[in-house]
Structure formats: structure tokens, C-alpha cells
Amino acid sequence: MSHPLVIIYEDRLSDLVGVKLLLASLARFEPSWRIRLIVPTDVQTEFHSFNANVAVDRRKRHSTGWNVKPAVLIEALSENDHPVLWLDSDLLLSAPIHGLLEKFDSAHLVAAEEPLGVRNPGSQLRTLAWDLGSGRHIERGLNSCVLRVSRAHLPLLVAWAALLADPVYLQAQGRPWNERPPWLMGDQDPLAALLGSNLFASIPLGLLSQGNDIAQCFNEDGFSVAARLAHAFRPLPPIIHAQGAVKPWHVRSPRSVHLELSPYRWAAQPFASVLPPADRDWLNLSSPVAKLLNTFALGDAALAGLAPALWRTLVRNAGRAVRLVSNTGAQHSVASSPRTTEGSRL
């Protein structure tokens, strides 16, 4: 398969740190890949200095943020019959990834798995909530931080763009996270709905495995306890994702310990020189707790954050058990009283 055209998009000036690091890591590990960097801002950064293969596109698109994904993929596929690879700007490579992608032929849509702990994973709930006929159930949560597509996927991408323009979806995007239903959280939920539907169930899916292929650094345990133990004193997964609204380079005081100890910070170290000195503070540990945990872990990228990951996993599982018990209680009381209301649509 030919090299993919990489697409990176960022419209937030405060997050160009991630873009620079991703470009530098691509230059090191995938030096022959062409890159289209879409930055609809008037920032004057010389992106070529981080990666000679980058073509900068400053045009504004109709959508912004992650909702731009299908539109810019369709654009690139219409120009040329080559595979196109979307990479979130909060990704970083720690090794070459062409071998990972070449495991899947061009009929496959390649995406990443969500971290294990996310609530309500799987496509079925999303497919049904969007009123699409179910064609298959994809059990693992789907994360669209990496997406490799080809022209075979154009009808899917057109349908995805339509769902991302749906007023119900757009309205939900304006609400806080905890008020959005699982099928309207972000761009990847309508995509999972479509891939699980009978319209697109025949598209073979190549999922990059969380923990092995990609470290999903989401909260404390997105890069899980098991994955951290498996990578102890070994190289990190080849793709590192600084997943979530707060990024390791967002300098806030006090910083969360897990952000200080994010494997992303380790993976960023070799590329520190692409950042101006004022943007490098976050690359140093600052809190006594982070320094202590790092010392105990002998400076290992996977192990330094093990204690916070373990803590978060325990708390999450305890919360799940409590919800299970209280739901069972609620079901008992509903069963013993006359039904007065219709169940809501999912």
C-alpha cells in the first residue's frame, strides 16, 4: 500500500505545542510521509522547520474542532486515490507506525480503541439511538484519534458528516460533558453508530489496540494498570495519545499528578528542542508527589504513574459496584409499583 497522506488539524493556538511535537516525531519515525497541516489561524509559525514534508493549509472549513474530520478526509480523498490518515494533534509517535497500519489492507477502516474504563462502550447503543438499523455490534469503544480511510469509505464519510451537522448533535456539543448522552459525546460516537449500522456493517474494521499499539493517556488509568506493568522498563506503545480536555502542556497550578507523570511527557522529551523555552516548563516534574513517584519507579515512563492509575481503577470499580447495587434496587421498586411513564428513548 502507498504511503498515506497525513492530515493534522488544529484551530486552538494554545495547542500548537502538540502539533509541533507530532510533526517532529513524524519527521523522525515516518520521514517519507507527506503531511497536510490545517491551521485556520493567522499564527506565523514556520512549521517546515519541524518537518520538511508538511504543507500548511490555512483555509477555514465550515466545521471546527473534531467535527471537521469527515470533511477534510473527503476533500483529500477526492483529490487523489491514496490512503488518508487523520492524526489528532495530541498524538505523538515513539516509534515507526507503518507496520501497524500495513496489517490492514485499504478496505479496512483503521481507528483506535478507547481506553477500557470508558462508560457505555460499543456501537449498538449508538446505532439504535441514532435510529439506524443494527448490522453488527462492535464491542470495543471506538476512538477516532487515528483514522485511516480510502476511497472505499467515501459513502461512510458523507453519512458521518451529515450526522455531525445534525442539530441534535450540535446542540449536545454545546452542553457540558456530563450532560451529553453517550451517542452525542463527540465525533466518534456517530461514527461508531454508522459502523454498527446495517448500511456500513460490511466495512472491515482495523482497531489499534489500546495498551499495545496506542497508550490512551486519559485520566489516571486510560493507560491501564495492566498495560503499565506490561511496558515496565520496555518501550512505550508506538502511539501516545494525550487524550482528554486538559493536556500535559496546559500549565495550571497545581497540576494534576497524573498529567505531570503522563507517558506523553516522556515521549515528548526527545523533541523538546522544537519548543521555545517558554513552552517547555511542563516537561519538568514540579510537584513533590510526582517527583517521589518518579523516583520510586526509577524514572520509568510506564511505572511512574502506576499508583495514580491503580487508585483511579479502584475508585471507578467501587463506583460501578455502587451503581449496580442501586440500579438493582431501583428495578425492584419499579417492578413492584404500577408503571406510570414510558421509558425514555435510550
Q: Which is nearer to Mn ion, 88 or 221 (CB)?
A: 88
Among 145, 157, 184, 240, binds Mn ion (CB under 5 A): 145
Q: Which of 88/113 has CB closer to Mn ion?
A: 88
- Does 10 interact with Mn ion (rule: CB under 5 A)? no
Q: How many helices (H) and strands (E) does the chain have?
A: 12, 10
Runs of H (alpha helix) within the chain? 16-29, 69-79, 98-102, 124-129, 154-164, 167-173, 188-195, 225-230, 257-260, 263-268, 288-296, 306-335
Pairing of β 34-38 and β 54-57: parallel
Residues 199-228, interacting with Mn ion (CB under 5 A)? none
Least CB distance to Mn ion at residue 241 (A)? 6
Which residue bears the cell 456539543?
A: 173
The least CB distance from residue 46 to Mn ion, in Å, is 24
Q: Which is nearer to Mn ion, 247 or 306 (CB)?
A: 247
Closest distance of CB 145 from Mn ion, Å: 4
Alpha carbon 103 to chain centroid, angstroms = 20
How far from 49 is each of 40, 87, 156, 269, 283, CA to CA, in Å? 19, 19, 36, 18, 21
Q: Which of 10, 30, 88, 213 binds Mn ion (CB under 5 A)?
A: 88
Positive/negative CA dihedral, 159, 130, 84, 203: negative
Q: Judged by CB under 5 A, how many residues of this single chain contact Mn ion? A: 3
Q: Which residue is nearest to Mn ion (CB)?
A: 88
Taking CB under 5 A as the binding criterion, the range among 17-25, 119-127, 138-146, 304-312 that sits at the site for Mn ion is 138-146
State the minimum distance, in angstroms, from the CB of residue 186 to Mn ion.
10
Contacting residues toward Mn ion, per CB under 5 A? 88, 90, 145
